Amino acid sequence: MLAKASRGEYAAEALENIPDPFCCRFFKPTDAENPSSIKVAPDVRSLITFRSLNLMEQWPNQGAVRRDLCRNVMIYFDAPTKAKLIDRFIRLIKPGGWLYIGHSESLLGSHPGLHLMGRTIYRRDP
Ligand SMILES: C[S@@+](CC[C@H](N)C(=O)[O-])C[C@H]1O[C@@H](n2cnc3c(N)ncnc32)[C@H](O)[C@@H]1O
């Protein structure tokens, strides 16, 4: 999956629901003769690092993040594990930063300092 993500190549239909200005800016045809395949634009691709991480283990110390996207992963964890993980996310996210989870998920219990801003979108206190 990491190799696939790192290639950043998709069937053109994958962009169907993405507005045109974003498609043009962030994706390019993989090959001019094959418009059915598109690729993440090189300048965007160069900003992304792909690595595996077991959320249950120690995390690399890379400093605080502005946005944390953890979609449909906590569905595997029991309530205490999920609560601990969310607390770790809160510590990881910069003040005013964002946490995005899957649309079928919710944060259990109370997590002071994290506020619901939209459908499964949370913001840490600035
Ligand atoms: C339902 S998939 C969601 C994949 C993707 N985030 C998405 O929304 O399409 C759940 C993912 O959680 C990952 N996962 C499960 N336990 C994990 C853990 N302890 N640490 C990191 N990832 C985990 C699985 O490997 C799987 O890729």
DSSP annotation string for 54-99: -TTSPPP----EEEEEE-S-GGGS-HHHHHHHHHHHHHHEEEEEEE
Q: Which residues contact 11 (CB under 8 A, 6 or more apart)?
A: 36, 37, 38
Measured distance CA(70)–CA(118) in Å, rounded: 15
120 and 69 within one domain: yes
78 and 40 within one domain: no
Nearest-atom index, ligand 1, CA of 102: 8
Look at strands 93-101 and 65-70 and give their pairing.
Answer: parallel
Q: Is residue 55 part of a domain?
A: no
Domain count within the chain: 2
Q: What is the pTM of this model?
A: 0.86
69 and 39 within one domain: no
Q: Is residue 101 part of a domain?
A: yes
Q: Specify the range with the lowest mean pLDDT, choosing from 3-17, 25-39, 42-56, 71-85.
A: 25-39
120 and 80 within one domain: yes
Q: Quote the distance between the C-alpha of residue 98 and its chain's center.
A: 11
> What φ, ψ does residue 116 adopt, rounded to 5°?
-70, 125
Q: Which H helix or E strand runs over 114?
A: strand 114-118
79 and 38 within one domain: no
Q: Is residue 16 part of a domain?
A: yes
120 and 76 within one domain: yes
Cβ of 73 closer than 6 Å to ligand 1, yes or no, is yes
114 lies in which domain range? 65-124
Question: What was the pLDDT predicted at 110?
Answer: 76
Q: Ligand 1 centroid vs 98 CA: distance in angstroms?
A: 19
Which of the four pLDDT bands, split at 50, 70 and 90, describes residue 39?
very high
Cβ of 56 closer than 6 Å to ligand 1, yes or no, is yes
Q: Ligand 1 centroid vs 76 CA: distance in angstroms?
A: 8
